[in-house]
Each structure stands twice: as structure tokens, then as C-alpha cells.
Amino acid sequence: MAVESKGSLSINSENLFPIIKKWLYSDQDIFIRELVSNAVDAIQKFKHLVSLGEASAPEEEYHVTVHLDPEKKTITISDNGIGMTADEVKKYINQIAFSGAAEFIEKYKDSAEDPIIGHFGLGFYSAFMVSELVEIQTLSYQEGAEAVHWTCDGSSTYEMTAGQRLAHGTDIILHVNAEGEKYLQEYEMRSIANKYCSFMAVPIYLTNEESKKEKTEDKEKEEPTPINDTTPLWLKSPKDCTEEEYKDFYRKVFMDFKEPLFWIHLNMDYPFNLKGILYFPKLGNEFESAEGQVKLYCNQVFVADNVKEIIPEFLLLLKGAIDCPDIPLNVSRSFLQNDGYVRKISDYITRKVADKLCQLYTSDRENYEKYWADIHPFIKYGCLRNDKFYERVKDSLIYRSPLQDRYMTLSEYLEAAKETHENKVFYTTDPRQQAQYLHLLQEQNLDAVELGTAIDSPFISFLESKNENLHFLRVDADLNEILKDESAKTTEDDQKKAETLFRSLLGNDKLKVRLEPLKNPDISAMIEMTEEARRMQDMMKMYGAMGLGSLGEQAEETLVLNQSNSIITYILEHPEEEKTSALAQQIYDLARLSYGPLSAEALTAFLNRSQQLMQGLIS
């Protein structure tokens, strides 16, 4: 039986090749994924036949080889799999799923590059992105089959003649073009093979004609090692995995030598198939520097990083590997977004992560609190992004009290605050800067929680929107409510006098001044700004920092003078004395210092004045 034939590819490939080149152009590397995964598939199919007794097992190990020959400028991908008969080459290669291809061209001719599209069933043809000529040498496992040799130079014609393979399996020989030459470098090839093939199910070897020559000289030794791990940890049953294995896997895959905090092993067969491991990485303290990586695999073949249709965006701060054999990868991302099945996967992952957090909270609170500093930005971000997630984890959210140096939940805090400030939560954004205010609270047996990272300010607004009546007040806001000494009295007249005097002593006739008897007599004065005004100011600052226009009006602060403080009463009673001016300014600066940093000018003035005051003490 002669296998010789010539013909035209059965689609209009004048259209196809330029398009394949165009949409795959930005990600040329994936030809290796496509060809190696075809080789792996061919071996899997063969194994299956062996298991059914329809073929006999080969003597050598099932494996795929990627062989580089820099001199001949070829890359050869070989497998000892099922092989193809001449008819199969015609059917699967020449006619490729071209109904699919036509549809594909129609859909994607205008779309931007998309890494998922490689799974459209055009995988084999990605070879032409890096080759000027592609050869196939194949022999089917079927009894009596003849070896086939197929060549095509990327135009619309191919040639088929008798082939040379003696054992079943296939060699795909790429004669690389200029763009493909870089893949002849072992280093380059190894790095992309690692990216795409690290967990494929059949051992893959990378060999090089050049080093092969060298090796024949000192022969033997050196068992070659496959580049991949054919049984990735996520496939194992969670109960059979050890802590060390999880950590090793993490180190190997993410090159992160900080240990992960904890992990979730996803393992589901029904109603959809999904396996994977998600790690909570140890973050730096800065939320901004968090950068996760969730790798998506389809049957152990790497598809893409951070596919946010499948892994909810807020989970992309995690690191992990997810294998979904059944996701409809051959469709566009816009379809993925609207696909109910994909949404179910995404919901499932979200739920699992929430469950794990709740489980840690209830059964391992000690560690949970230890992890909190690392995981809270992620959890809060998740709450902001995903209502279902918030509903699941809301009772496991904890807050640190710097005064008690311990964590509590919101309801624990509110319960304790019921008598004195119902539904109000005092918080500090910076326990050191706001130490004086915290101290005041402590004196009253009150408490505050720390909420000072970037995510906390939107998170506070979020909690307020979720809990009617709940109100967060920074420790320096609206002081009077709690700290005011109700028994003392201030008259209208006193107020007026104090305001006029301090405005003139400080040289600022717009300054808001209020005389107030505070419970603690040691504090001379404090700055007060309402919670709303301060939030507005923070927001303006943020917009300013983002380059979104001017800061607008400076929010109004009030200088609260403590009527119970002896220096204040002294100033009020001796307005004409020379030293009152320096005292008033010093008091104002101290109040501002315990509220926030001073401007450079104000700080210089404050330091100079402090020197002079000390001078006064000794002279």
C-alpha cells in the first residue's frame, strides 16, 4: 500500500497561517505546550489501549523527548504513543478540526491575543509560528500499519510519503525559522518547557545533539532526569500529603523561600472536577507589595497565570495551582465571564477559602491571630469585592486592641462598649502617633482597635454600610463626647475670651478655638477634627497623591483648650504677660504634634522655641 500523496490542506490556509501567526504572536512559546501535550495525549491514549488489552505495553518507558539540534536547526518532539496511520494524518492533521478553525477565525480575527485560545484544537499548527518547514514521522500502533512521513512548509500544500519510524509513536520535526532560532538554545527551551510542561503526566526529557556528542565519549553514567513532575501534589489525596510536601511544592513552584502561612487543598470530583492547592503567602507588611500567582492547569497542562474568570480576583493575592480538566478553555474570555459553570468553579473556590479561614478561626485561634497581620489585607479586600465571601467570614474578622495587646471581634468590642458608647468603635490608625488620645481612652477604661493599613479606610466605610448605626471614630475625633468633664461649666463669655486671646497670641484670626474642661488636667490642649472632616481630608490627600486635582479646602480643625489645665488657666488669667505668647504657641504645637506630623516650618519654629524656653529655665 503506497502512502505517497500530495494535496491541499482542506481549509483555506492562505487565511489561516497569517491569523495563527497573528494571534499567537505575542505568545509564541506556546508551540512547545501544544506539541508536547499532543505527545503526552498520544501516550495516554496508548496506555489506555494497553489497559484495555488492545495493545501490548512497550519495553521502554513511556516518555516524550524534546531534542535540540542547533547545527541542523531542528527541534524534534518525539513520543512513543499511539502514532497515526496515513488516514489519521489526513483526518487529524490535514483536515484538522477545520470546522472549528473556520469558526475560530470568524470569531477571533479582530480580537486581541488571548493565551487561552491555544486550546482551540489548532494546537499542532502553532508549530508554524517558529518553523519554515514541519515534518511528521509517525507509525501507528495498529498491526500492519505503515510509517508515514508528512511535510509542509506552511503554505497550503503538504506532502505525504513512506515514513521511517520503526516503533509506534510520532516525531514532530521543526525546521526553525529566524524567529524560532532562539529555542535551539537549551537554556531558553528549558525555561519555557518548565513553564508549560512542569506537571505533564508523562516524563519529558530535554536533549541536545551537541551535549549528546560529548557524552558518547565518557559514556554511561548520568541517568537523564525528566524536566517534569508527573504526579503533582494537587493530585494526591489531601490526607496523604505531609506538611513538608506542601512546603516543598510551594518552594519549587513559586521560588519563594519564605514559608507559606497555610494552605488549602482543593479536591472535588462532583459536580465538577477541580483539584489544586492555594497557599497564603507571607506578605510584607505593605499591602501594595502583595503579589500572588495562581496558575491554572488543564489536565496538568499549564494554561495561564491568574485567570480571573476562574479564580476570583481577590484570591489572586494568593499563590497556588488549580487544575480544572473540564473548563471550556476553547472559548473566549468574554464567554468565560458569562458562563454559569465557570462561575460555579469560582464560587466554590471562594467558599473553600472562606471555610478554611473560619475553621482556623474556631479551631486554631492562636495561629489565626499570628497570621492575621499577613492575611487581613487579603481578607478585607475579599470582603469589599465579594459579598458572599464577606457573609461567610464576617464573624471571623478580628481587630487588635493596642491598649490590651489582644485581638477581639467586632461584637466583642461592641458588647464591652455598650454602656459607654453604644455602636461606636474607636480606632487608631497609628498607636504611636495617637498615643496621647489612646491614653485618654485608657484612663476612662475605654478601648480602641487598630485599623491603620491602606485597606482599612475603605473597609471601615464598608462595615458602616453593612451595619446600620455602626460608626467608627478615630481616637482623635469628636473628643468631647467621652472625655469632657460634665461636672465643670464653661460660660459663653469664657469661650469668647479664650478664642480672642488665642487667635491673637497665635496670629491666626480664623483658628477655631474651644474651651473645654477635660477629665485629665495634665493635658493642656488637643486638636480635634470631626471624623467626617478628617475622612474627607484623607480622601482629598489620596486623590492629590494620585494626581487627581487639588486638595481643595483644608479641613477645619479645632484647638481644644483644657479648662482644667493649670497652664491654660494661667494664660487666660494673665493675658498681658510677655511669656503667654510663647506658651500659647508651644501649647498649640504640642497639640498638633500629638495629632500628626508638623510641617517643616512649624517643626523648626517649635524646636527653636523649645530651646529658648529651656534657656529661660536656667537663666
Q: Which does 283 bind (CB under 5 to 8 A by kind): Mg ion, ligand ADP, none?
A: none
Q: What is the largest CA-CA distance in the chain?
A: 120
- Considering the complex, what minimum distance in angstroms separates the CB of residue 46 from ligand ADP? 9
Taking the CA atoms of 593, 598, 603 and 606 in sequence, report the sign of the dihedral they define. Answer: negative
- Considering the complex, what minimum distance in angstroms separates the CB of residue 195 from ligand ADP? 18
Of 95 and 306, nearer to ligand ADP (C-beta) is 95
Number of helices (H), then strands (E), in the chain = 20, 21
Q: Which does 122 bind (CB under 5 to 8 A by kind): ligand ADP, Mg ion, none?
A: ligand ADP
Distances (CA, A) of 340 to 244, 271, 310: 37, 13, 11
Q: Which does 96 bind (CB under 5 to 8 A by kind): Mg ion, ligand ADP, none?
A: ligand ADP
Q: Which does 562 bind (CB under 5 to 8 A by kind): ligand ADP, Mg ion, none?
A: none
d(CA 388, CA 350): 8
Considering only residues 38, 228, 428, 429, which one is a binding residue for Mg ion as defined by CB under 5 A? Answer: 38
Q: Which does 39 bind (CB under 5 to 8 A by kind): ligand ADP, Mg ion, none?
A: ligand ADP
Indicate the residue type of 424: K
SS3 331: coil
- Considering the complex, what minimum distance in angstroms separates the CB of residue 102 from Mg ion? 18
Q: Which does 17 bind (CB under 5 to 8 A by kind): Mg ion, ligand ADP, none?
A: none
Indicate the residue type of 498: A
- Considering the complex, what minimum distance in angstroms separates the CB of residue 232 from Mg ion? 20
Of 85 and 586, nearer to ligand ADP (C-beta) is 85
Q: Which does 371 bind (CB under 5 to 8 A by kind): Mg ion, ligand ADP, none?
A: none
Which of 410, 402, 502 is closest to 459 using CA atoms? 410
- Considering the complex, what minimum distance in angstroms separates the CB of residue 35 from Mg ion? 8
Of 79 and 528, nearer to ligand ADP (C-beta) is 79
Which three cell numbers mark 113?
Answer: 491575543
Q: In the complex, which residues of this chain contact ligand ADP (CB under 6 A)?
A: 34, 38-39, 42, 79, 81-82, 84, 92-93, 96, 121-124, 170
Contact 319, 293 (CB under 8 A): yes
d(CA 203, CA 508): 79
- Considering the complex, what minimum distance in angstroms separates the CB of residue 118 from ligand ADP? 9
Q: Which residue has the closest beta carbon to ligand ADP? A: 123
SS3 304: strand
- Considering the complex, what minimum distance in angstroms separates the CB of residue 24 from ligand ADP? 13
d(CA 288, CA 484): 40
Of 115 and 123, nearer to Mg ion (C-beta) is 123
Of 119 and 275, nearer to ligand ADP (C-beta) is 119
Of 81 and 123, nearer to Mg ion (C-beta) is 123
- Considering the complex, what minimum distance in angstroms separates the CB of residue 86 from Mg ion? 20
Q: Which does 587 bind (CB under 5 to 8 A by kind): ligand ADP, Mg ion, none?
A: none
- Considering the complex, what minimum distance in angstroms separates the CB of residue 414 from Mg ion? 58
Concatenated DSSP letters of 425-448: EEEES-TTTTHHHHHHHHHTT---
Of 65 and 580, nearer to ligand ADP (C-beta) is 65
Of 20 and 568, nearer to ligand ADP (C-beta) is 20
d(CA 196, CA 118): 12
d(CA 146, CA 299): 31
Q: Which residue has the closest beta carbon to Mg ion? A: 123
- Considering the complex, what minimum distance in angstroms separates the CB of residue 300 from ligand ADP? 14
Which three cell numbers mark 596?
Answer: 500628626
d(CA 536, CA 34): 54
Q: Which does 154 bind (CB under 5 to 8 A by kind): Mg ion, ligand ADP, none?
A: none
Of 40 and 321, nearer to ligand ADP (C-beta) is 40
Of 85 and 429, nearer to ligand ADP (C-beta) is 85
d(CA 472, CA 487): 27
Neighbours of 381 (CB within 10 A): 22
Contact 82, 89 (CB under 8 A): no
Is residue 123 involved in binding Mg ion (CB under 5 A)?
Answer: yes
Q: Which does 79 bind (CB under 5 to 8 A by kind): Mg ion, ligand ADP, none?
A: ligand ADP
- Considering the complex, what minimum distance in angstroms separates the CB of residue 58 from ligand ADP? 14
Taking the CA atoms of 307, 310, 311 and 312 in sequence, report the sign of the dihedral they define. Answer: positive
d(CA 60, CA 592): 80
Neighbours of 310 (CB within 10 A): 23
Indicate the residue type of 579: K
Q: Is 77 left (phi over 0), alpha (psi -120 to 50) or beta?
A: beta
Residues 6+ apart with CB under 8 A from 604: none
Q: Which does 565 bind (CB under 5 to 8 A by kind): ligand ADP, Mg ion, none?
A: none
Which of 320, 329, 306, 334 is closest to 34 using CA atoms? 329
Number of residues engaging Mg ion in binding (CB under 5 A): 2
Of 169 and 232, nearer to ligand ADP (C-beta) is 169
Q: Which does 84 bind (CB under 5 to 8 A by kind): Mg ion, ligand ADP, none?
A: ligand ADP
Q: Contact residues for Mg ion (CB under 5 A)?
A: 38, 123
